[in-house]
Amino acid sequence: MSFYNCFQKRGDSNNLPMPGRHKIINTRTHHRLVIESKKARRLPLLELHNELVPHASVKTIKRALASINIKQSRARQGAFLKDEHAVKRLAWAKKYKDWTQEDFEGVIFSDECMVERSKDLKGIWVFRTPEEEWHKDCI
């Protein structure tokens, strides 16, 4: 139907809403998905699917989370430092912050370290946005 005919019939030039399939994940469920994915970041996608939206497909859940930039990514590997080690390192850095290159030339540093292979060969997956890459829960 032409623009002019629509305007004469309805008295309005705006288009009517198009009919279509309703959304499987409504706004409320979408909000719960976001909250649960941030609360339990390491929860597998299939478990998130079974707990919250069993009537939707896994792909639909991925799409819903991706719409607000939340994706399932591998957790970043952080330094294996205990809080006491971090405090000692910071104290050392503050103590020697004013040293010059000449001062450090008389110091010998050891490059010894202990390496342990992870038990989980697949790695750990977390739900996160790109900005949360180094968030404490995502390491």
What one-character-per-residue DSSP string does 73-136 give?
A: EEPPPPP---HHHHHHHHHHHHHTTT--HHHHTT------------S-TT--EEEE-GGGTT-G
**How much is the pLDDT for 117?**
66
**127 pairs with which residues across the strands?**
72
Full domain range(s) for residue 31: 3-138
- Whether 65 contacts 37, CB under 8 Å: yes
**How much is the pLDDT for 118?**
61
**How much is the pLDDT for 119?**
64
Nearest to 29 by CA among 9, 4, 6, 56: 56
- Chain-centre distance for alpha carbon 73: 7
Predicted structure pTM score: 0.57
**How much is the pLDDT for 104?**
85
Q: How far apart are CA 18 and CA 124, in angstroms?
A: 43
* Number of domains making up the chain: 1
Average pLDDT for runs of 10 along the chain of length 139: 78 80 88 90 88 89 90 81 86 91 84 67 80 82
**How much is the pLDDT for 130?**
85
Q: How far apart are CA 29 and CA 82, in angstroms?
A: 39
**How much is the pLDDT for 32?**
92
Q: Is the dihedral of CA 96, 76, 119, 43 positive or negative?
A: positive
Eight-state DSSP code of residue 14: S
**How much is the pLDDT for 28?**
92
